[in-house]
Amino acid sequence: MFIDTANLSEIKEGFSFADLKGVTTNPSILLKEGKRREQIISEILANSTGTVFVQAVGSHYEDMYIDCQRILALNDDRIALKIPANVAGLQVIKELKSKSDAPVILATAVFSADQGILCGLAGCDYIAPYINRMENNNINPYEVVRETRKIYDDQGFPTQILGASFKNTNQVVDILVAGAHTVTVPFEILRNMATKELAAASVDRFNRDWEELQCDLELVCE
């Protein structure tokens, strides 16, 4: 599981209680922090472990490829690229993956199994189907992931499915059951996964019973 944020406080707290594989970012997430991309990524690397995904921007092949080079020029082997799964993005992915020092690439904005096929053929390490966004547009994300996972398994593609775009914890569980290899979630959802009212009530009862037991044993109650 990855955490989908660029906020250092969220990253520090998330890594304190969850065994995370890394951090995913995008321009919208970076915008919230109000810093230069290079500075934010440097700070994330210093306060996390695992892979840090950075999204390349550009409307055309040339612009996107140049931005990929800017990101890779940060010269940290933990940095990986996020590239959209459109025509220009697939062109960039194919070019980068043809090189001997090819970076780790996550294809983003995936909404269908046929997109997933093209990403697998291009050599992507991961794809990111947008779960909540699909549901909001009457696309069944769980069927998309099931179909894509079956194709990957049947064809022997090493590409992994990294579910993204979640609004609640049920979506996270359901997409993993559907066949996603991993997910990236915002801090709020990560915290909600560890914060359950029934669990909190049970822990509170354990603590009160422990205090009562100590009181009984010591025969002293305040």
Amino acid (1-letter code) at residue 1: M
d(CA 24, CA 7): 11
- The whole-model pTM stands at 0.88
Residue 82 bears catalytic tag: yes
Among the four given CATH numbers 3.40.47.10, 3.20.20.70, 2.40.10.10, 3.60.150.10, the one describing domain 2-195: 3.20.20.70
Of residues 15 and 208, more confidence is placed in 15
Tell me the CA distances in angstroms from 115 to 44, 74, 134, 166, 182, one per residue in order: 30, 29, 14, 20, 18
**From 21, 82, 167, 196, the catalytic residue:** 82
- pLDDT of 110-166, one tens digit each? 999 999 999 999 999 999 999 999 999 999 999 999 999 999 999 999 999 999 999
Q: Is the pLDDT assigned to residue 222 strictly greater than 60?
A: no
Tell me, what DSSP letter sits at residue 79? Answer: E
